[in-house]
């Protein structure tokens, strides 16, 4: 991490960029958050460890409105979102200096807590650039140990790959974290009966409090104004209203990002109610791959989105 920090400092001192976009340590050490570093002094708070799950790509939209260039730290999977934003003209390449940072998987604090670990004071071993696979967790009740690989976010278990799709330089190495099939869960749900599916999703979506965290974190949800906030469809609504709206919101949100979603998993990561929102997006990804050929949004800036293209012999609706 020090190497990364030094490099950022150097780049800022050499005036290659005017600021950096990275992660700042939070209150508890496991709640690092996205932050702009406007001067080298501010870099003291810079961190990069397993808790830096936040995908910074979307912040680049803000950065592009600022003067000069911004250093942005992107994990391999974040680069897909960055590309997608580039493709949609939401950000400008020349406004960014991309440091591709190595990643050995990002951590899920709720998985740690699920092991009965409470009152966490400090967690050691979360460093991204160490090869150590052990988390040492200090709590007010004593010390615990947990394998790093056992505390990964679901998205890291079905990681898209170690390659950065776009970068100016790369610091650190990335590790293979794949241990599950990306579509296994989707297939499992598909096997359920109609009623079981409905019960499953009703149960999950009933938890939704319409806090919009998913929308705010999602790099594909980058509309200046969401349709659910505008009067364009007569669909503006306050949080947590009645009825069907949560289903409508999540289906439409998934539909709006279909073919653009890079499966970065931020929606599920930030959901305070732990709704597995990625199950919607991934279903679309699975369908698109099956029906229209493998497509990975953000792997490049050229390929046309499957929903804005077609072929003469596409599948008929409802017949798959």
Among 247, 273, 289, 295, binds other proteins (CB under 8 A): 247
SS3 category, 279: helix
Locate tokens 């019960």: which residue? Answer: 199
206 in contact with other proteins (CB under 8 A): yes
309 in contact with other proteins (CB under 8 A): yes
Smallest gap from residue 217 Cβ to other proteins (A): 16
203 in contact with other proteins (CB under 8 A): yes
Question: Are the beta carbons of 186 and 283 closer than 8 angstroms?
Answer: yes
Longest CA–CA separation in the chain, Å: 64
Helix (H) or strand (E) holding 135: strand 134-139
Binding part of the chain for other proteins, among 13-21, 28-36, 262-270, 284-292 by CB under 8 A, reads 284-292
Binding part of the chain for other proteins, among 9-17, 134-142, 295-303, 304-312 by CB under 8 A, reads 304-312
301 in contact with other proteins (CB under 8 A): no
Reading the block at residue 278, the tokens are: 């990625």
197 in contact with other proteins (CB under 8 A): yes
Residues 123-182 that bind other proteins (CB under 8 A): none
CA pair distance 230, 66, nearest whole angstrom: 26
235 in contact with other proteins (CB under 8 A): yes
Binding part of the chain for other proteins, among 23-31, 39-47, 93-101, 286-294 by CB under 8 A, reads 286-294
CB closer to other proteins, 150 vs 232: 232
Binding part of the chain for other proteins, among 7-15, 18-26, 98-106, 225-233 by CB under 8 A, reads 225-233
**C-alpha torsion sign, points 299, 77, 175, 7:** positive
**C-alpha torsion sign, points 57, 59, 64, 68:** negative
CB closer to other proteins, 126 vs 226: 226
Among 8, 22, 156, 245, binds other proteins (CB under 8 A): 245
Nearest Cα residue to 69 out of 21, 106, 30, 24: 21
CA pair distance 100, 78, nearest whole angstrom: 9
Return the percent helix, strand and coil in the chain, to nearest 5: 35, 15, 50
In terms of Cβ atoms closer than 10 Å to its own Cβ (0-12, 13-18, 19+), residue 119 is exposed
Residues 61-80 that bind other proteins (CB under 8 A): 65
Binding footprint of other proteins on the chain (CB under 8 A): 65, 87-90, 186, 189-190, 192, 194-203, 206, 222-227, 230-235, 242-248, 251-252, 254-258, 280, 283-284, 287-288, 291-292, 304-312, 314-318, 320
């Amino acid at each position: 991490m020090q190497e990364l920090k030094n490099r950022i400092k150097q780049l800022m001192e050499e005036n290659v960029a005017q600021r950096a976009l990275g992660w700042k340590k939070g209150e508890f050490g496991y709640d690092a958050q996205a932050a702009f570093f406007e001067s080298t002094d501010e870099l003291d708070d810079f961190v990069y460890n397993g808790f830096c799950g936040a995908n910074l790509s979307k912040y680049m939209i803000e950065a592009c409105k600022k003067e000069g260039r911004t250093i942005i730290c992107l994990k391999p999977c974040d680069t897909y979102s960055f590309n997608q934003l580039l493709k949609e003209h939401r950000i400008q390449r020349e406004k960014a200096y991309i440091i591709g940072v190595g990643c050995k998987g990002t951590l899920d604090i709720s998985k740690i807590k699920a092991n009965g670990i409470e009152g966490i004071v400090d967690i050691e071993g979360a460093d991204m650039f160490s090869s150590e696979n052990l988390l040492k967790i200090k709590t007010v009740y004593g010390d615990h140990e947990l394998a790093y690989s056992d505390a990964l976010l679901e998205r890291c278990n079905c990681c898209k790959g170690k390659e950065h799709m776009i970068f100016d330089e790369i610091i650190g190495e990335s590790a293979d974290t794949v241990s599950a099939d990306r579509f296994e869960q989707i297939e499992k749900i598909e096997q359920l009966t109609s009623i079981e599916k409905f019960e499953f999703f009703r149960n999950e979506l009933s938890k939704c409090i319409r806090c919009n965290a998913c929308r705010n974190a999602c790099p594909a949800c980058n509309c200046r104004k969401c349709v659910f906030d505008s009067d364009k469809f007569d669909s503006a609504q306050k949080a947590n209203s009645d009825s069907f709206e949560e289903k409508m919101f999540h289906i439409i949100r998934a539909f709006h990002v279909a073919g653009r979603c890079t499966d970065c998993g931020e929606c599920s990561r930030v959901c305070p109610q732990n709704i597995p929102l990625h199950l919607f997006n991934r279903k679309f990804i699975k369908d698109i791959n099956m029906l229209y050929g493998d497509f990975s949004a953000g792997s490049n800036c050229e390929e046309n989105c499957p929903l804005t293209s077609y072929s003469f012999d596409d599948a008929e609706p409802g017949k798959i």
